[in-house]
C-alpha cells in the first residue's frame, strides 16, 4: 500500500529571482532522495510548490517503509579467513563480529558462510536480509541532504528563539510533514515537524492553518489561506489577469519580469494605474525600463507600439477599494519618471561629439587601454570594412566615432541597458545623419541568439568592427573562452559576426577581417596575434550555428571542413550538398572521393598536367574523356554560382570513376604511369571538391 507525502518549509520572504529554481530543485531532490532509498513506488509523481514564504513538495505513491533487502556480502578470501587447520582465523572472527552487528544477528558461525569464487580467488560470503527503514528515517536523511544541495544564492545565518544559530537562504519558521493524515516526525533547522502552516501575511488571520491530509494542502491554502502555492499556477493567473486588464492595448510582458512578479506575491491581483502624459516626451525605452526594473510594473502600448500613460501592477493584496494601492503606486513612479525626464533633458544640452574626449578617462581593459583607444581601433576597422564593401566611408567613420559616446551620459549611467538606444536619440537631436544615428543603436546587434541584425549598411559595418575588435583584442591578451567561462561574451560576438556575414551575404574575407582587426594591436606588448586560433574558433561556432538551422552534421562538415574564408554563399553550398546527397550517385562518388583523398595524402607533391599518351587502360582513358567533357559544364555552373548544378554535373562521372578503381592500378611500378594516374585523380579531386568536400558524405 502506498501513500501521499507532503513536506513544507515555511520561511521568511525568499529571494524572488531564485524562487522558481529553489522550488523545482527542492521537489526534485526530495523525490530523488526517497527514490534512491526505495521509498517510492513506480509512477510516483512530485508536485513542487513555491511561494514567497514557502517551499513544498507533494509526492504520490510513497511507501511507509522501504522493503526488506537481500544482501550477499563478501567476507574475506579463504586464504585469509581460514588457518591451516580450516578453522576461523583471527581476522575472520573480527569480521564476523562486525557483520553480526550489522545484520542484527547474535553471532555468525563458519557454517553460516558460503564458499564461492569472487572471480579472482575463492572467498567466503554471508547472505542476510536487511530490514527496511521507516519513512521517517529515510525522509530525515533525504531532507538534510536536500537542504545541503539547494542552489541558494547566498546563505543567511540567523538565531533561533532557543539561541541556536542555523543557516538557510532565509529564516525558517515552520516544518510541515504529512504522510496521508499522519505527521512524519522530523527535525531540521531547529524545528520539529507538525501539520500546521500559515496563510497570507495580510489577507488572513495570523493563527495557523491545520492541514488534515497531504492532499488537502493546496486547497486549504487557497480557500482559507489566500495563497496560491504552485508557482506555475500563480504565474498563469497573473498572465491571464494582465491580458484581461490590458484590454485593447498591448502589454509588455518580459518572461523574467513575469517570473519575478510571480515570486513576489502569494495572492496576485492586477490593478491599472496612470502617470502624467508629460512624461511621454521622454524616450519610451527609458520609461519602460524604469517601470520594469525599478518598480516591477507592466507597461502598455497601442497597436503601433507607442507607450501609453496607463500601466498595470500586480499587487499582493485584494481589496474592494484599491484606491490607496493605485494612488500609492502612481505616487511612487512619479519621481522615477521625473529622474528619467531630467537625465534626458540634461544630456541633450551637450552633443555626443563633445563627449568623445571623455572616453580617454574610461578604462576599457588595463592591457588594451582606454575606451578612447578602443574607439580609435573600431573607427579604423569600420572605415576599412566600408571600403571593402564599397559603402560610404564617411558615414561609417562618423557612426563608429560616436558609437560609445552615450556611455558618458547621465541616462546610460543610470540605465546601462540603454547604451546605443540613447545614442540614437541624442544623435538625432544633434542633427547627425539618420543612418549614423540608427547605426549607433544598431552596432550592438545582435545582442543575443535570435536578435535582429542591423537594418542599415552603416549599422552592419560598425557592428562588425565593434565585435571583431572585441574578439581579436580580448583573445589576443590571453582571455579566450574556456569551458563554460566566457566573461567577455566572445562566443556571442563570434555568432553575431557569422550571422551578419551569412544572412546579409557580405562579400568579405574572414581572414582579411581578422588581419585588419589585429593590425592596430601590433605595438601592444600584451598582445599576441590570435588570427589563426580565432579562425578555427569561428569555424567551430559556424558548425553549431548551421546545425541549429537544421542542416545535418555530414552536410555541414562537407562545407565547413574546407575552412571557407567567405560566408556569403555558404547557404547555397549547403543546399547544393543537401540536394546532391539525395542523388543515387552521391554515395558512390563520396566514397570514391574519400579514397582519392587518402591516396593523394600519401603522395603529397605537386602533380603536373595529364599526359593523354600515357593513359593505357580503357578505364582511365574513359575517365579522362568524361572529365574533359564535364569540366566545361562544371566550370560554367560554378562561375555562375550554381553550386547545385556543379555537383549534379559530377553525377555523370560515377560509372567511369567506379570502373577506374575496378580496372586500374594507380600505384603502378612505372613512375611515369603512376604520376600520370595521380595527376588524373588530382584533377578529379579538384573538380569534386570545388563546392564542398563530398567525401564527408560517405557512410
pLDDT tens-digit map of 48-97: 999 999 999 999 999 999 998 888 989 999 989 999 888 999 999 999 99
Give the model's pLDDT for residue 102: 82
Superfamily of the domain at 575-697: Isoleucyl-tRNA Synthetase; Domain 1 (1.10.730.10)
Q: How far is CA 276 from CA 272, 291, 330, 659, in A?
A: 14, 14, 9, 84
Give the model's pLDDT for residue 608: 79
For range 457-473, the mean pLDDT: 98
Question: Do 76 and 146 meet the contact criterion of CB atoms below 8 Å apart?
Answer: no
Q: Which of 661, 579, 648, 570 is nearest to 620 (CA)?
A: 661
Unique residue bearing C-alpha cell 552487528: 101
Q: Which of 380, 381, 363, 379 is nearest to 371 (CA)?
A: 363
Give the model's pLDDT for residue 606: 64
Give the model's pLDDT for residue 61: 97
> How many angstroms separate the CA atoms of 638 and 629, rounded?
15
> How many angstroms separate the CA atoms of 542 and 540, rounded?
5
Q: How far is CA 546 from CA 6, 434, 506, 690, in A?
A: 47, 34, 17, 20
Give the model's pLDDT for residue 163: 85
Phi, psi of 159 (to 5 degrees): -105, 130
Residue 461, pLDDT above cutoff 90? yes
Q: Quote the cell numbers at residue 459.
A: 549599422
For range 391-404, the mean pLDDT: 98
Residues 6+ apart with CB under 8 A from 90: none
Instruction: Classify burial at 658, counting beta carbons within 10 Å of its beta carbon; exposed 0-12, middle 13-18, buried 19 or more.
Output: middle
Give the model's pLDDT for residue 680: 92
Residues 6+ apart with CB under 8 A from 506: 389, 460, 500, 567, 568
Give the model's pLDDT for residue 476: 97
> Is the pTM higher than 0.75?
yes
Strands (E), 426-525: none
Band (11; pLDDT cuts 50, 70, 90): very high
Q: Which of 323, 665, 386, 367 is nearest to 528 (CA)?
A: 367
Instruction: Sort residue 632 into left (φ over 0), alpha (ψ -120 to 50) or beta.
Output: alpha
Number of H helices, E strands in the chain: 26, 20
% of the chain surpassing 70 pLDDT: 100
Give the model's pLDDT for residue 484: 84
CATH (residue range 357-535): 1.10.3210
Q: Which of 423, 433, 332, 445 is nearest to 392 (CA)?
A: 433
Residues 6+ apart with CB under 8 A from 88: 81, 82, 96, 110
Residues 6+ apart with CB under 8 A from 333: 273, 275, 290, 291, 295, 297, 311
Phi, psi of 317 (to 5 degrees): -130, 130
210 forms beta bridges with: 196
Q: What is the largest CA-CA distance in the chain?
A: 106
- The H or E element containing residue 175 is strand 172-179
Residue 582, pLDDT above cutoff 70? yes
> How many angstroms separate the CA atoms of 9 and 12, rounded?
10
Give the model's pLDDT for residue 435: 97
Tens of pLDDT, residue by residue over 191-225, are 999 999 999 999 998 889 999 999 999 999 999 99
Amino acid at each position: 500500500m502506498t501513500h501521499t507525502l507532503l513536506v513544507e518549509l515555511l520561511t521568511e520572504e525568499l529571494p524572488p529571482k531564485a524562487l522558481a529554481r529553489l522550488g523545482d530543485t527542492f521537489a526534485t531532490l526530495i523525490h530523488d532522495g526517497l527514490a534512491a532509498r526505495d521509498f517510492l513506488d513506480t509512477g510516483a509523481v512530485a508536485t513542487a510548490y513555491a511561494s514567497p514564504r514557502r517551499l513544498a513538495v507533494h509526492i504520490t505513491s510513497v511507501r511507509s517503509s522501504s522493503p526488506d533487502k537481500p544482501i550477499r556480502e563478501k567476507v574475506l578470501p579463504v586464504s585469509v579467513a581460514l588457518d591451516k587447520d580450516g578453522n576461523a582465523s583471527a581476522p575472520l572472527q573480527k569480521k564476523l563480529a562486525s557483520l553480526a552487528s550489522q545484520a542484527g544477528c547474535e553471532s555468525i558461525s563458519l557454517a553460516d558462510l558460503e564458499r564461492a569464487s569472487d572471480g579472482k580467488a575463492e572467498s567466503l560470503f554471508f547472505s542476510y536480509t536487511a530490514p527496511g527503514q521507516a519513512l521517517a528515517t529515510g525522509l530525515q536523511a533525504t531532507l538534510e541532504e536536500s537542504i545541503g544541495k539547494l542552489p541558494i544564492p547566498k546563505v543567511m545565518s540567523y538565531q533561533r528563539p532557543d539561541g541556536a544559530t542555523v543557516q538557510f537562504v532565509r529564516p525558517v519558521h515552520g516544518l510541515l510533514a504529512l504522510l496521508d493524515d499522519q505527521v512524519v516526525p522530523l527535525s531540521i533547522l531547529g524545528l520539529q515537524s507538525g501539520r500546521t502552516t500559515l496563510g497570507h501575511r495580510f489577507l488572513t488571520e495570523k493563527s495557523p492553518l491545520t492541514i488534515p491530509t497531504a492532499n488537502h494542502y493546496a486547497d486549504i491554502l487557497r480557500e482559507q489561506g489566500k495563497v496560491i502555492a504552485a508557482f506555475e499556477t500563480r504565474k498563469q493567473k497573473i498572465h491571464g489577469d494582465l491580458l484581461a486588464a490590458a484590454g485593447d492595448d498591448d502589454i509588455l510582458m518580459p518572461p523574467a519580469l513575469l517570473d519575478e512578479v510571480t515570486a513576489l506575491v502569494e495572492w496576485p491581483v492586477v490593478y491599472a494605474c496612470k502617470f502624467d502624459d508629460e512624461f511621454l516626451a521622454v524616450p519610451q525605452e527609458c520609461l519602460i525600463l524604469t517601470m520594469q526594473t525599478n518598480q516591477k510594473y507592466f507597461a502598455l502600448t497601442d497597436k503601433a507600439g507607442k507607450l501609453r500613460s496607463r500601466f498595470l501592477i500586480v499587487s499582493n493584496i485584494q481589496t474592494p477599494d484599491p484606491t490607496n494601492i493605485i494612488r500609492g503606486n502612481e505616487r511612487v513612479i512619479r519621481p522615477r519618471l521625473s529622474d528619467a525626464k531630467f537625465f534626458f533633458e540634461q544630456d541633450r544640452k551637450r552633443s555626443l561629439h563633445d563627449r568623445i574626449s571623455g572616453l580617454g578617462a574610461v578604462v576599457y581593459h588595463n592591457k588594451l587601454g582606454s575606451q578612447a583607444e578602443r574607439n580609435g581601433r573600431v573607427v579604423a576597422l569600420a572605415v576599412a570594412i566600408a571600403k571593402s564593401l564599397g559603402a560610404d566611408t564617411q558615414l561609417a567613420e562618423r557612426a563608429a566615432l560616436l558609437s560609445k559616446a552615450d556611455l558618458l551620459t547621465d541616462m546610460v549611467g543610470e540605465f546601462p541597458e540603454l547604451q546605443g538606444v540613447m545614442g540614437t536619440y541624442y544623435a538625432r537631436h544633434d542633427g547627425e545623419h539618420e543612418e549614423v544615428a540608427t547605426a549607433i543603436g544598431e552596432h550592438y546587434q545582435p545582442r543575443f541568439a535570435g536578435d535582429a541584425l542591423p537594418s542599415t549598411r552603416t549599422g552592419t559595418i560598425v557592428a562588425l568592427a565593434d565585435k571583431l575588435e572585441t574578439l581579436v583584442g580580448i583573445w589576443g591578451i590571453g582571455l579566450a573562452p574556456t569551458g563554460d567561462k566566457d566573461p567577455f561574451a566572445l562566443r556571442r560576438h563570434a555568432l553575431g559576426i557569422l550571422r551578419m556575414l551569412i544572412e546579409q551575404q557580405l562579400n568579405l574575407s574572414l581572414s582579411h577581417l581578422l588581419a585588419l582587426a589585429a593590425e592596430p594591436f601590433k605595438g601592444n606588448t600584451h598582445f599576441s596575434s590570435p588570427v589563426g586560433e580565432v579562425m578555427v574558433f569561428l569555424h567551430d561556432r559556424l558548425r553549431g550555428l548551421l546545425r541549429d538551422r537544421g542542416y545535418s552534421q555530414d552536410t555541414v562538415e562537407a562545407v565547413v571542413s574546407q575552412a571557407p574564408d567567405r560566408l556569403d554563399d555558404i547557404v547555397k553550398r549547403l543546399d547544393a550538398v543537401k540536394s546532391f546527397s539525395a542523388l543515387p550517385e552521391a554515395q558512390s562518388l563520396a566514397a570514391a572521393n574519400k579514397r582519392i583523398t587518402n591516396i593523394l595524402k600519401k603522395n603529397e607533391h605537386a602533380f603536373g598536367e595529364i599526359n593523354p599518351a600515357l593513359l593505357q587502360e580503357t578505364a582511365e582513358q574513359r575517365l579522362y574523356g568524361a572529365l574533359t567533357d564535364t569540366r566545361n559544364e562544371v566550370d560554367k555552373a560554378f562561375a555562375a554560382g550554381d553550386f547545385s548544378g556543379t555537383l549534379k554535373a559530377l553525377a555523370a562521372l560515377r560509372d567511369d570513376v567506379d570502373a577506374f578503381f575496378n580496372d586500374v592500378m594507380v600505384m603502378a611500378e612505372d613512375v611515369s604511369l603512376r604520376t600520370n594516374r595521380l595527376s588524373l585523380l588530382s584533377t578529379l579531386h579538384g573538380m569534386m571538391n570545388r563546392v564542398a568536400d563530398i567525401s564527408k558524405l560517405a557512410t
